[in-house]
Amino acid sequence: MAPRTVLITGCSSGIGLALAVRLATDSQGRFKVLATMRDLSCRGPLEEAAGSALGQTLEIGQLDVCDEGSITRCLDKLPGQYVDILVSNAGIGLIGPLESLSLDDMRQVMDTNFFGLVQLVRALMPAMKRQRRGHIVVISSIMGLQGIMFNDIYAASKFAVEGFCESLLVQALRFNISVTLVEPGPVTSEFEGKLYSGVEQVDCVGTDPETADIFTRIYLPNSRVLFASLSQSPEDVAEHTLKVICARRPPFRHQTNPAYTPMLALKRADPSGELAGAAFYSLVFRHGPLLRASLHAVRLCRWKARKLRKALRLLGLS
């Protein structure tokens, strides 16, 4: 069977880089990867990670999802503008009190995370429809299902992504095209590193002192503990994405981190939203020390589990 062509966006770092390398170095040779990024001057880490796969099963291309001309130029290099699998991964984040965020920054998040996806799908769907096959994989977020305080605009962009894909699904199935939303929680990558390093320099101009205090004294410390306790590596998310790509019947939604199952269960249990809202309020404002202690305990358990798995591998038992 000929290798399936895969177009991945946002491959200069993080999940995109890890997935591009994972698919291009597949031991069964099932994929030929076009790994794209907005700025080709950032290609160094991908080239180094790809190794001998570069120029063989992995090619690097320029693609800015916010630029329709860039999308056209990229797709014109593909036979019939067709790929078997699109992985829409390019995205940016935005954190902070709403009053301190600029409208330009908000628009950039929506342009990249939502309209960038829409433009890509609109450009690739005609060829997939003609072939009556294809797979659209979107790296969404757990925040496309549950909003988180001070992530208002980022969550809004991911909610938009989820609604777009859910609406697209039935039409896509008619043409034998699969749609999958991969929904990670926090991921330890350059994406998050840049985001939080920028946040620590925010002076909360435009917001009131109480909100600024909640952001700096409660939200940021809790976020750091949460990342340290529950975050996944880009390689872990890449493995999850590989599984849905190779599934005989790809799922529509796939959450990569089971730690978030209870959070989503609250929302499903009470469609009014009151239960989830009250639970999050209590955790943040009434039981902060308990939340941090629980996250530290989870971190310790995960560390011990990793040590156990490593020991089993060394003994040849896993």
Q: Which residues are annotated as a binding site for NADP(+)?
A: 10-38, 64, 158
Binding site listing for substrate:
141
List, by residue number, the catalytic residues. 154
Question: Residue 29: which residues within 8 A CB-CB, separation 6 or more?
Answer: 3, 57
Question: Residue 267: which residues within 8 A CB-CB, separation 6 or more?
Answer: 145, 146, 273, 275, 276
Structure tokens at 160: 């938009």
CA distances in angstroms from 48 to 12, 13, 44, 54, 236, listed in the order given: 11, 12, 6, 9, 19
What are the residues facing 134 on neighbouring strands? 177
Contact at 8 Å (CB) between 115 and 66?
A: yes
d(CA 86, CA 66): 16
Binding site listing:
10-38, 64, 141, 158
